Structure 1
Amino acid sequence: MAAFPEGTPCWADAALPDVEAGERFYGELFGWTFAPGEGAQTDAFSDGKLVAALTPKGDGRMPTVWGVYFATPDAYLLAGRITDAGGHVPPQQMGTTGIVAVAADPGGAVFGLWQAAERAGFEEQGTPGSYCWTEVYARDKERADAFYETVFGFSGTDLEDGSVDFRLWSPRGAEPGPDTAIGGRSVITGAFPAEMPDHFLIYFCVEDCDAAAETVTALGGRVQAPPFDIPYGRIAVLTDNQGATFAVLAEPVDENTPEEGAEGTDPTPAPVPESG
C-alpha cells in the first residue's frame, strides 16, 4: 500500500477503558472484526481491510476519545514545526509499524502523527464501516488556521455559506477547494457547552445514518446531534457506551456521483453542534 501524502489523515484509533466492550460495540455498529495489533492495541477490520484500532487507556485520567493521525515522511522534522508553531509533540517508535506522536495544537486540540514503516495506515476509507472525514473545533479560529496551515502547508477555503463558519483544508500543492479537501476547521460557538475544549471530530461512513443512531442508543451509547441532512449526505454525532464521541455520514445515492470509496471522493461534512 502506498504511503499517504503528508498532512493526509491516515489512521484513527479509540482510547477506551474496556477494549473488549469496545469490540462488542463497534462490531455490532459497523460490522468490524478484530485481531491483536501492535502492543496492547486491537486492530479493527471492515470486510477484511484495516480501518481503525482500539487501544486501552493507560491512565484513568486520560480522555476516552477517538483520535485522528496525519501522515508524515519525517515525524521528528514535523514535530519541530509543530513546536515552532506553538504546539506540543514527542515522537516515539511504535514497534516495527512506524513512528507515532500525539500532538496538541496551541488551543489544546489533540491529534496524531504517523510516519509509516510496515504499516501505511488505512487499507480502506470512504466506504461504509470506514473513516471518511475529520474536522477540528476551535475557539480561536485565526490561531487554529495559522497553526495548521503553517505546520502542514494546508490551503484553506472558507465555505461560501454564510450561516456557518467553516474552513476546508486541502493538502500542500493541491488546488484548494471542496474537491481536494481532506479536513476542516469549525468554530466552538455558544451552541457548545462552555467547558468544551478544542478538539477533533472524526467521521465514519455508514449506509443508513438513522439506523446507526438507533443502534448506538440500543447499545448503550448516546446521540449527541440527531441525524440531519447536509448537501453531502446525512450525518449524526454519536457517543459510544464508554464516552468516545464520533460522527457518521451516509452519503446520498446519486448515479452521477463517483462510487463510494473511489479515489478523489470527498464527503466534506458541514460543521455540527455537539451537546455535552
Structure 2
Amino acid sequence: MTTHSQPWPAGTPCWVDLMASDLGRTQDFYRAVLGWTYSESQPEYGGYCNALLDGRAVAGLSPTMEGMEDAPHVWSVYLATEDIAAHAARAVRAGATSVYEPMEVGPFGSMGMWTDPTGAVLGMWQAHEHTGFEAYGEPGAVVWCDLMTGDPAAAQSFYAEVFGYEYQDIGDEGMPYSLFTVPGAQMPAGGIGGPDPEAADAPPGWSVAFQVADVDAAAGRVREAGGSISREPFDFEYGRMTVATGPDGEHFVLMTPQEDM
C-alpha cells in the first residue's frame, strides 16, 4: 500500500469527481463495488466529500448543485497544474472555452473547467492542502484516465500545446489511440483516442477506469448494487475490463491490469 502525498506533475490526471442526485445512494453503490468509505460531507463546500481507500483520498462525490439538476451525470477528470491561471490562458489560446473560471476551494486548492476544441470537458486542479489522488493503481483506486473523441488528432495538438504532452501511437485502423506522457515523466499518464467502434455515438469526453482484483466479480457487485454492465467483461492487450453504469447513469470502467504492467 503506497500513499501519494505530493502534488502530481502538470498535465497528469490527478483527481476525479461526480455529482450525484442522491448522495447517500451513490455512496452506498461505490462502497459495495469498490470498498470505499467517505469523509464527512461538508455543507460549506456544497456537501462535497472524499471517497477513501484505507483512509486515502481516491475520488470526490457531491450532491447535484442547485440549477444543474438536468446536467448529465459524468465522472469529471482533473489535470494537475502548478499554475492554473497560466494553464487556463494557454488552454484558451489553444481553442478552449471556459465552463468555470479558476476559483479557490478554501485551503484545498484551486479548480476550473473548460471545454477543449473537440467538445470534451476538462478540469484543472492546482493543489494546496488537497494534492489529488493519495492512492492510485491499486484495487479500489483509479488506474487510468483517457479522452475519447471524434477528432483525436485535434485533441493531441491541443493538449501538447497546453501541457506539453508527448505521444506514443498504439492504435490501429479501427481505433486510433495514443498514450501520452507529461514532460519529465518516464511512464504514460493516460491516453487519447477514438472513436470506439462499440460506442460510435458517444459524446467526446474524459473517462475513468477503477482498478479491481477481479473484473467479473466486480461486474457482479455492480449488478447487485443496482447498477448495470453496458459492455460485458473482456480481455484486451493490457488486462481485462468491463464498462459499468452507476446509479445516475454515469459510465466508468472496471479494470484488472496485467500483472507485469
Cα shift at 1:36: 2.0
Contact 1:132 / 1:205 at 8 angstroms: preserved in 2?
yes
Contact 1:15 / 1:63 at 8 angstroms: preserved in 2?
no
RMSD value over aligned CA atoms?
A: 1.6
Kindly report which structure 2 residues correspond to 1:240-259, keeping only aligned pairs within 5 A, or say none.
240-253=246-259, 257=260
Contact 2:239 / 2:255 at 8 angstroms: preserved in 1?
yes
User: Is structure 2 residue 20 aligned with structure 1 residue 21?
Assistant: no
What does residue 50 of structure 1 align with?
Answer: 57
User: Is structure 2 residue 45 aligned with structure 1 residue 41?
Assistant: no
Q: 1: CA distance between counterparts of 2:185 and 2:15?
A: 21
Q: 1: CA distance between counterparts of 2:218 and 2:197?
A: 27
Contact 2:148 / 2:196 at 8 angstroms: preserved in 1?
no
Cα shift at 1:37: 5.0
Cα shift at 1:47: 1.2
Q: Secondary structure, in 3 states, of the residue corresponding to 2:69?
A: coil
Q: Which runs of 5+ in 2 are unaligned?
A: none
What does residue 79 of structure 2 align with?
Answer: 70
Cα shift at 1:231: 2.2
Selected match of 2:208 from 177, 202, 209? 202
Selected match of 2:11 from 7, 10, 34? 7
Q: Secondary structure, in 3 states, of the residue corresponding to 1:65?
A: coil
Q: Secondary structure, in 3 states, of the residue corresponding to 1:169?
A: strand
Q: 1: CA distance between counterparts of 2:161 and 2:78?
A: 17
Contact 2:174 / 2:197 at 8 angstroms: preserved in 1?
no
Q: 2: CA distance between counterparts of 1:47 and 1:168?
A: 30
- Counterpart amino acid of 1:224? S
User: Is structure 2 residue 189 aligned with structure 1 residue 182?
Assistant: yes
Q: 1: CA distance between counterparts of 2:94 and 2:36?
A: 38
User: Is structure 2 residue 192 aligned with structure 1 residue 173?
Assistant: no
Cα shift at 1:11: 0.8
Q: 2: CA distance between counterparts of 1:34 and 1:68?
A: 19
Contact 1:16 / 1:65 at 8 angstroms: preserved in 2?
no
Selected match of 1:32 from 16, 36, 43? 36
Cα shift at 1:160: 5.9
Q: 1: CA distance between counterparts of 2:56 and 2:189?
A: 21
Cα shift at 1:100: 0.6
Q: 2: CA distance between counterparts of 1:115 and 1:228?
A: 36
TM-score (norm 1): 0.86
Contact 2:58 / 2:136 at 8 angstroms: preserved in 1?
yes
Cα 1:62–1:19, aligned 2, differ >3 Å: closer, same or farther?
Answer: same
Q: Which runs of 5+ in 1 are unaligned?
A: 258-266, 268-276
Q: Secondary structure, in 3 states, of the residue corresponding to 1:243?
A: coil
Kindly report which structure 2 residues correspond to 1:123-162, keeping only aligned pairs within 5 A, or say none.
123-159=134-170, 161-162=172-173
Cα 1:251–1:170, aligned 2, differ >3 Å: closer, same or farther?
Answer: same
What does residue 231 of structure 2 align with?
Answer: 225
Aligned pairs, how many? 250
